[in-house]
Amino acid sequence: MNVHQLRRWSDRVDGGLRSTGEVARNGFNTVYNKAMNSPRATAAVMLGTGVAAALLWLANRNGTFAAQHAKTLGRARRERLSSRKSRSAKP
């Protein structure tokens, strides 16, 4: 391959990436402008952000699902053992 052919291919790829970036930027601007001009959309974004933040806070505070599952199983096993002991201690 010669240098000119590689340069043409790289220019073609570069041009395609530029046009894709422009399309993405235009799409983002359209969505942003609609959201800024619509109070309902702004309220929905704020509410969604708040709910997501609350869920992340709860998950961080309480631990992961696996940790909660192990904790609950441990509690259930201890309870089952203590109930067996109390039944066997009765005459």
Residue 85 tokens read as 């002991």
Q: What is the pLDDT of residues 64-88, one digit of tens each?
A: 778 888 888 998 888 877 776 666 6
Mean per-residue pLDDT over the chain, rounded: 77
Domain boundaries, the chain: 1-37, 42-91
| Contact call for residues 13 and 21 (beta carbons, < 8 A) | no
| Contact call for residues 24 and 18 (beta carbons, < 8 A) | no
3-class DSSP state of 5: helix
What is the per-residue pLDDT for 14? 64
In whole angstroms, give the CA distance from residue 73 to residue 25: 50
Mean pLDDT of 40-52: 89
